[in-house]
Every structure is written in C-alpha cells, then in structure tokens.
Amino acid sequence: MKNAYVLFKRYGVALLSCAFLSATLYAAEETAPGVKGVTEEEFTPAKEVLTVKYVEMAKPYHMDVESLEGFFKDAQGVTVPLQMQDKAFPNGGGSVKSAEVKGIHDGLAIYFKVTWSDPTRNARAIAVQEFRDAVALMFPLGAVEITPAEHFSPRMGDREKPTNLWHWKADWEADLLVKGELEDMENQYPNMHDDWNFNPYSAYYHRELITSVEVLSGGRAAHNLLSQPGRGRVVEDLNAEGFGTLTTQAHQDVNGCSKYEDGTWTVIIYRSLITEDPHDVQFVPGGTTYFNMAVWNGGEQDRNGQKSISSQWHPATLERVAWQ
C-alpha cells in the first residue's frame, strides 16, 4: 500500500494530465455545435457530368475573356451548388449559392470557364480590412475512382490522396495592370508618410539599408509567391492532402483571365492538357476525372477557410479530338 502511495505521489500528476489530455482530444474530435461532420453523401460524386467539349481553336494573341468565351458557345455547363465551409476552423462563407462551370479543350490545352454572381468587385487585399474575390478548382491526382466505398474527401483531399488546386485571385489580375506588376501600400494609401523620404540623411547614410530586400521586404526575401512582383500570372498552382497542407508549387503552370460585369464574375482558367510536373493533374482526351471548387466573396470578408464550397466531387469527361 505504501509503495502504491509512493508511485501515485510520484506519477499521479502526469497520469491525471494524460487522462485530461485524452478527454480533451476526444472532445475536440466531436463535431462542434452547428458544424457538420463529413457524411457519406460527400463521398458520393454528383450525378451531373461536365463534358469538356473538344473545339478547334486559333489561339488569340491576347488571352482574355472577350477573346476566349466565344469558344464556349456550344459547351454545356453544370451548375455547382455551394454552401458555407462548415468543417475546418475558421468556418464561414456561404454568400455565393452556386457557380456555373464549362470546359473545353483543343487537344493541347484545357480551359474552364466559371461564372457566379457577386454584387461587388473586390480586387485588392492590401489594407487589413480588405479581402479579395477568388475562385479555385481542385482535381484529384492520378487515375482515381471516387465512390462511397473508396473515400476521397472533396474538402482538400486526404492523406496519401493528393489534389492539385488552381486558385485564381482578383488582386493578382489587378497587379498586372500597375507598374511593377504588384500593388503595394502606396496604392492603397497614396498620402502615407515615409520616414526615409523625409530624412535628408537617409540617402547618404542608409543607402544599403533602404535598398535591402532582405531588411525591408521579408516576403520577397523569403521567396513568398504573394510578395513577388512580376508574377506574370493570375492563378496559383497548388497541392493539398487534406486540411492544413495547402502548398504552392515550385513550378507554376496555370494561368487565367477574368471579366466583372453587371454583378457577375467570369473567370477562365487554362493550362496545357499534359505537363511534366508530377504534382500536376494530367488530362487525356477521351478520359475522365473529377473536380471540385470554392468561391471567395471579398465583400463578405471571405478568406482562407471562410469560403463557399461544393461538398461533392463532380465528374468530368473530356471529348476525344477529331482525329482520334
């Protein structure tokens, strides 16, 4: 009995701490009030199939919506219902109820046209109170068959079931129109005070400091893609294997263009059917794949996990090319 007392005195606090931690972790696994858990329905792909139509295209010199949308005239779109992101913290979104997706390819490249209603155009995210409009398409990597028996989460994928995401951002497109291809603080605050400019000795005594990217632009020095001027593209190419794993690719292969008119966004995202990047989804005419999507409404302060999402994968089939 004495030995048991000594053991409890020595290790009791640690044992109680472990028990408390286990209970806490168990409680954390429980779905929070008002937040949905993953259901079997989410592992069942939508019934409507997106047909990516084969079209013969003469590539326009300037890749913009006006030059490209005529090629979609015979493509049948699918309407994707959207809901708030209600699984991963921080939850949010839900202001965008649906989006239409159309797809075409010319045997060399694939194009997705996404349209949705948004009462405001939000194409800047410099001030802390500003948030951008955006849309992302997600594809599973490799040849997969998604069924209720073969779980593949439509929410950022799963461990060992990676996804490739194409994330268009309204502010990235706005950047292309300004000098240096990157809007910065002076664009948002044109009358902002700058200590360096008002110090007559700065240019002489602090030249090395005030021209130092490492000191004054940590994002650029760290090669953060969001901080780099001259990106030359409006879509970010990423991968994920579940919540919290989103990673930008070292090699960016996707691009796009957009138009905002009469309260509607039209975004066209495109890429070569086949790339040499093993982290990219590959498209084969005559083959099938799946896609999912998310939309961010900057006017409703959507960002990160606060977005409108589809909770199901959507099957897509590429038409064969004319000579196949």
Over residues 251-255, the mean pLDDT reads 94
| In a domain? residue 172 | yes
Q: Given this model, what pLDDT does residue 60 score?
A: 77
116 occurs within a structural domain: yes
- The least confident of 16-20, 146-150, 248-252, 318-322 is 16-20
Please, what is the Cα angle at 109 between 175 and 50, to 5 degrees? 100
Q: Mean pLDDT for the chain?
A: 82
Domain that holds residue 103: 39-182+229-318
Q: Does residue 22 belong to any structural domain of this protein?
A: no
Query: In angstroms, what is the C-alpha Rg of the chain?
Result: 24
The answer to whether residue 203 sits within a structural domain is: no
CATH of the domain at 136: 2.60.40.1190
Q: How far is CA 114 from the centre of its chain?
A: 14
Decide if 193 is inside a domain: no
pLDDT in tens, 66-119: 999 999 999 999 999 999 999 888 889 999 999 999 999 999 999 999 999 999
Residue 289 included in any domain: yes
**Burial class of residue 102 (count of CB atoms within 10 Å of its CB; 0-12, 13-18, 19+):** buried
Between 200 and 140, residue with greater pLDDT: 140
Banded pLDDT at 126 (limits 50, 70, 90): confident
User: What is the predicted pLDDT for the residue at 36?
Assistant: 53
Share of the chain above pLDDT 90, in %: 54
Residue 228 has pLDDT above 60, yes or no: yes
Tell me the whole-structure pTM to 2 decimals.
0.79
- pLDDT tens digits, residue range 263-283? 999 999 999 999 999 999 999
pLDDT band at residue 192 under the 50/70/90 scheme? low
Q: What would the mean pLDDT of 8-36 be, rounded to a whole number? A: 43
Q: Is residue 219 part of a domain?
A: no
Look at 321 and 174; give whichever has higher pLDDT. Answer: 321
> Taking every pair of C-alpha atoms in the chain, what is the biggest distance, in angstroms?
89
Pairing of strands 98-105, 50-54: parallel
First to last CA, the chain: 84
Q: What is the DSSP string of 299-322?
A: GGT-BTTBSEE-SS-EEEEEPPPT
Q: How confident is the model at residue 27 (pLDDT cuts 50, 70, 90)?
A: very low
* Number of compact structural domains in the chain: 1
Does residue 11 lie in a domain region?
no
